[in-house]
Amino acid sequence: SGVERLGDMIANAGIIVPFTGAGISTECGIPDFRSPGGIWTRNRPIPFDEFVASQEARDESWRRRFAMEEVFAAAKPGRGHRALASLHRAGKIPAVITQNIDNLHQASGFAADRVIELHGNTTYARCIGCGQDYQLDWVKRRFDQDGAAPNCTACDEPVKTATISFGQAMPEDQMQRATELSQACDLFIAIGSSLVVWPAAGFPMMAKNAGARLVIINREPTEQDDIADLVIHHDIGEALGPFVGN
Ligand code: OAD
Ligand code: ZN
């Protein structure tokens, strides 16, 4: 079966680099973006230029974030996260590349500098002007006091979740590290992503072109199944559960 072949490929690979999307966190209660009931089936994305230009857009963006707080706060690593953490401890996975913003790879045992966050992190906030970090609690208090999304106390520019919105520049250092890892690995495993959002979706092909074998694990077909050496159309928790060690 696909999962047995995956086991052989994992056993035989030196360096494995996982690349994760929202599908690895759905069993943790966090919805993905494009499945039925996904975030973008309910809300239109707020592009970065709109966030910058409009107080109303900033208020709406923060209202959405506060509405998700219980979900994010309660979420614990799932079988997929735990399997990757086991392989990390076993020395097979140097770091994980993720499009996710939920901090669950860190929670599963990866040090912060071993999680390459292409789209940032939603568990804290950051000023879009000077880059100062803020806790979500601070934003919530200010929002409740003023009835509006706050600006930075240092430079008066808007404060946003520390995530990357559509139209916002990608984090250069993370892109660089993801490039190096993709080109250095023997086995690249794309897990739980529809692989439609670029430039992130370019890493599987980059790994493949540099000589890695490519595995895609996703319930639904993806845009890039045809370039993969192995495609597992299966639930991630089921497919990776056998690799959860101790
Ligand atoms: P998507 O919602 O586009 O894709 C998630 C994929 O995971 C879907 O194809 C699902 O079928 C699959 N899936 C969900 N749960 C699963 C499970 N338990 N087992 C197996 N497969 C499962 O999410 P991403 O590809 O991560 O970026 O989205 C990419 C980017 O689009 C996000 O990082 C975000 C979003 O807009 C920005 O906002 C910049
Ligand atoms: Zn600032």
Q: Could you report the predicted ipTM of this complex, rounded to two decimals?
A: 0.99
Amino acid of residue 58: R
Say which residue the tokens 């520390």 belong to.
162
Please report, rounded to a whole number, the percentage of residues in the chain having pLDDT higher than 70.
100
Instruction: Indicate which residue's Cα is closest to atom 19 of ligand 1.
Output: 235
pLDDT for the residue 53: 98
Beta strands 120-127; 133-134: pairing state: antiparallel
Cα–Cα–Cα angle for 148, 153, 157, rounded to 5 degrees: 65
pLDDT for the residue 246: 63
pTM of the predicted model as reported, rounded to 2 decimal places: 0.98
Q: How many CA atoms lie within 13 A of 185 on its CB side?
A: 34
Task: Give the ligand 1 atom nearest the CA of 40.
Answer: 36
Q: Where do the H-state alpha helices sit in 90-246?
A: 104-108, 136-146, 172-184, 203-209, 236-240
Average pLDDT, the chain: 97
* CA 194 – ligand 1 centroid, Å: 5
Distances (CA, A) of 224 to 42, 96, 146, 170, 209: 25, 20, 46, 22, 13
- Starting from the CA of residue 197, give the closest ligand: 1
Paired tokens of 212: 């890695």
* Ligand 1 within 6 A of CB of 35: yes
Residues belonging to the active site: 119
* CA 133 – ligand 2 centroid, Å: 9
Which one, of 130, 169, 136, lies nearest residue 61 by Cα?
A: 136
The answer on pLDDT for 196 being more than 70 is yes
Instruction: Average the pLDDT over 116-120 and give the result.
Output: 98
1 pLDDT band (50/70/90 cuts)? Answer: confident
Beta strands in 70-212 (DSSP E): 96-98, 115-117, 120-127, 133-134, 159-163, 187-191
* Ligand 1 within 6 A of CB of 70: no
Q: What are the residues facing 215 on neighbouring strands?
A: 189, 230
Query: Model confidence over 11-67: pLDDT tens digits?
Result: 999 999 999 999 999 999 999 999 999 999 999 999 999 999 999 999 999 999 999
Query: Model confidence over 216-227: pLDDT tens digits?
Result: 999 999 989 999
pLDDT for the residue 64: 98
Which one, of 175, 174, 173, 236, lies nearest residue 202 by Cα?
A: 175
* CA 235 – ligand 2 centroid, Å: 42
Query: Model confidence over 183-193: pLDDT tens digits?
Result: 999 999 999 99
Instruction: Indicate which residue's Cα is closest to atom 13 of ligand 1.
Output: 23
* CA 150 – ligand 2 centroid, Å: 11
Paired tokens of 223: 């845009």
* Ligand 1 within 6 A of CB of 220: yes
The answer on pLDDT for 114 being more than 70 is yes
pLDDT for the residue 89: 97
Residue 160's SS3 state is strand
* Ligand 1 within 6 A of CB of 102: no
User: What does the CA dihedral 231, 105, 171, 201 come to, rounded to 10 degrees?
Assistant: 10
In this structure, are residues 198 and 204 in contact, taking their beta carbons and an 8 Å threshold?
A: no
For 213, the enclosing helix (H) or strand (E) is strand 213-217
Which one, of 5, 6, 26, 19, lies nearest residue 237 by Cα?
A: 26
Task: Give the ligand 1 atom nearest the CA of 164.
Answer: 39
Which one, of 168, 164, 187, 154, lies nearest residue 5 by Cα?
A: 187
Task: Give the ligand 1 atom nearest the CA of 118.
Answer: 33
